[in-house]
Amino acid sequence: MKHTALEEKALDLLLANKKEGYSRHLKRPYFYFAPDEVHYHQWFWDSCFHSIVMSGFRPELALKEFETLLSCQTDTGFIPHIIFWKWRLMDIYQYLKSWRKEVHPDFHYFTAEIQPPVIGITLKRIYDQVKSIDFLKKYLPPVQRYFDYLEKERDIDGNKLISVITPMESGMDMAPQFDLPFDNFKNEPGVTKGKISEMLAQYKKVKWDIKKIFNLDIFNFEDIAVNTIYGLSLEQLASLWEYIDKDKAEKVREHYRTVKEKIIEKYWDSKDRIFYGRYFKGGKEFRVKIKTVSSLFPLCLDIPEKYVEALITHIVNKDEFWLDYPIPSVARNESSFGPLTDTRYIWRGTTWINTNWFLAKGLLRHGRNNIYRELKEKTLKLIEKHGFCEYYDPFTGEPGQAMRNFGWSTLAIDI
């Protein structure tokens, strides 16, 4: 198949970021595409995105990265958010600064955190290329165990929605909705950064025991994007189980339906006509009324038309999300909007390709083809002007302090 020039650039980028070898401390071979030159290690949702893109070029390489990620799954079903296959001298500072607080107490070469569970979507995309029942029999059960782990360990109140225990678990590390659990009601990013460091020190003291962490009552957040991705993956897993176990397929499908219903029930704000996440503190539940890209994520699900219409209204509002280069990670009319493009206080209003990718799929799912085409055009224009960067300024398109040659931004070719 002949590829476009942009597709060739995406493939070249991923191959340039390839890491392959044998890990002396983890005692196993590895193969993955690093996010960029600075972020050398394997990140969970980055790897899922890389495999999605690579599956359209060379499915065998997408599978190798997928296998590398799964190789660090623990007996509980947990899969870490960062895997340190090989240490470099330059990693020592970052390790002493933060990673040492995040390292799993039983497995010292990966972290104790999760990331948004894109892996079910990734499994489906690889299957669509290989079309093998043997593939499903081998990889579907371990991926399902990961979702069983999330249901068991992260659904603290039994409502079928999962909690993140650090902002980093959301993948949107410094997004302003995560200021509030730290009592940072002025949305000062430096304050939140300091509070995160203090929180990680507390988690390290309790050896990342999940029950003790919830008892610490520092950060227990039900994020909309995380739970939407959780639901999307369950939907894909149900479709895959149909090939080998129809009873299991129906159970997983019912789980997906419940997650979708609970997202609407718990997160929808009928006054503002948008979705807001919530956090728990002191035995009470608090809704975070900040409009962010996470608020739009239920568009990706098969939700009723009235919610779709409401979300579209917010997306095309030029005072909120429809800026020169949409969709910003925070609505323009929020006091917490940055966009802080020239800092590393990320997710404060910059535009990201991976969130555009999700929302573009949502627009297509609901037949909003005109808005989809506009979003696609503006997203591709970013890539044409500045290359595959980590994020972009929503007004100028400039990448500021974003990482260059950033792997998951190759998702642009799949929009």
Beta-carbon contacts of residue 1 (< 8 Å; ≥ 6 apart): none
Q: pLDDT confidence of 85, banded at 50, 70, 90? A: very high
Mean pLDDT of 151-168: 97
Residues 23-40 have pLDDT tens digits of 999 999 999 999 999 899
pLDDT of residue 230: 98
Q: Which backbone phi and psi does 68 adopt, to 5 degrees?
A: -60, -40
In the prediction, which pLDDT does 91 show? 76
Tell me: pLDDT of 2 over 80. no
Please give the average per-residue pLDDT across 133-161, as a whole number.
97
Q: What is the pLDDT of residue 134?
A: 98
Is the confidence at residue 92, as pLDDT, over 90? no
Q: Which two tokens stand for residue 130?
A: 């290989």
Consecutive H or E run containing 268: strand 268-269
**Single-letter amino acid code for the residue at 30:** Y
pLDDT over 70 for what percent of the chain?
A: 100
Query: What is the pLDDT at residue 1?
Result: 64
**pLDDT tens, 267-309?**
999 999 999 999 999 999 999 999 999 999 999 999 999 999 9
Instruction: Using pLDDT thresholds of 50, 70 and 90, give the confidence band for residue 58.
Output: very high
List C-alpha distances in Å: 367 to 124, 341, 354, 364.
Answer: 22, 32, 20, 5
Nearest 5 degrees, angle CA 271-CA 275-CA 278? Answer: 105
Q: How far apart are CA 390 and CA 225, in angstroms?
A: 18
- Report the chain's mean pLDDT, rounded to a whole number: 97
* CA of residue 267 relative to chain centroid, distance: 18
Overall number of domains in the chain: 1
pLDDT by residue (tens digit) across 340-399? 999 999 999 999 999 999 999 999 999 999 999 999 999 999 999 999 999 999 999 999
Residue 141, pLDDT above cutoff 90: yes
CA-based max dimension of the chain = 58
Whether the pLDDT of residue 20 is over 90: the answer is yes
> Dihedral, CA atoms, 356, 358, 362, 364, nearest 10 degrees?
70
pLDDT > 90? residue 93: no
pLDDT of amino acid 201: 96
Domain that holds residue 177: 5-414
DSSP 351: B
Binned at pLDDT 50, 70 and 90, residue 119 comes out as: very high
Percent of the chain beyond pLDDT 90? 95
Q: What is the CATH number of the domain that holds 393?
A: 1.50.10.10
Q: How many CB atoms lie within 10 A of CB 1?
A: 5
User: For residues 283 and 287, what is the distance between their CA atoms, to the nearest angstrom?
Assistant: 14
What was the pLDDT predicted at 313? 98
Record the pTM.
Answer: 0.98
What does the pLDDT look like over 195-249, one tens digit per residue? 999 999 999 999 999 999 999 999 999 999 999 999 999 999 999 999 999 999 9
So what's the pLDDT on residue 90? 77
